[in-house]
A and B are shown apart, each in its own frame.
Chain A
Amino acid sequence: MILVDDLLLKPFVSLLDILHAMVLDELHDMGAIRDEIKENQLLYELGERPESEYERKKGRLEAELQVAEEVHEKLISGNIEVQ
Chain B
Amino acid sequence: MSDDNSNLYVYGIIEQTDIEMEVDGVYGASTLGTVDYRSHSALTSTIDTTDPERTDEAVATHDDVLRAVVERDDVETVVPMGFGMAFKNARTLKGVMRGAQRAFRKALNDVEGCVELGIKLVDPADGATDADELRGALEDELDPLSAGQTEDDLFSDRLIANRSYLVEQDQRDAFDEAVERVETENEDVLVKYTGPWAPYNFVDIHIGAEASN
Residues of A in contact (CB 8 Å), total 9
B192 within 8 A of A: yes
Nearest CB to that of B192 among chain A residues? A46
Digitize A25-46: 1 where CB-to-B-CB distance is under 8 Å, 0 elsewhere: 0000000001100110011011
Contact pattern, B 151-178, Cβ under 8 Å of A = 1, otherwise 0: 0010110110000000000000000000
The residues of A with any CB-CB pair to B shorter than 8 Å are: 34-35, 38-39, 42-43, 45-46, 48
Q: Are B155 and A39 in contact (CB under 8 A)?
A: yes
Partner-A contacts on B (CB < 8 A): 120, 122, 125, 153, 155-156, 158-159, 190, 192
A sample of 12 inter-chain contacts (CB < 8 A) reads A35-B155, A35-B156, A38-B155, A39-B156, A39-B158, A39-B159, A42-B159, A42-B192, A43-B122, A43-B158, A48-B122, A48-B190
By the criterion CB–CB under 8 Å, are B125 and A42 in contact? no
Tell me if A's interface is mostly helix, strand, loop or mixed: helix
Shortest CB distance A46–B (Å): 5
- In the bound assembly, the distance between CA atoms of A79 and B155 in angstroms comes to 31
Closest-CB distance, B63 to chain A (whole angstroms): 14
B190 contact set on A, CB distance < 8 A: 46, 48
Give CA–CA (A34, B155) in the complex, Å: 9
> Can you name the residue of chain B whose Cβ is closest to the Cβ of A62?
B56
- Top 7 nearest A-B pairs by Cβ distance? A39-B156, A35-B155, A46-B190, A38-B155, A46-B192, A39-B155, A46-B122
The smallest C-beta distance from A66 to any residue of chain B, in angstroms, reads 12
Residues of B within 8 A of A48 (CB): 122, 125, 190
Residues of B within 8 A of A35 (CB): 153, 155-156
* Measured CA separation A38–B152 after assembly (Å): 13
Closest-by-CB residue of B relative to A47 is: B190
Residues of B within 8 A of A43 (CB): 122, 156, 158
CA distance A42 to B153 in the complex (A): 13
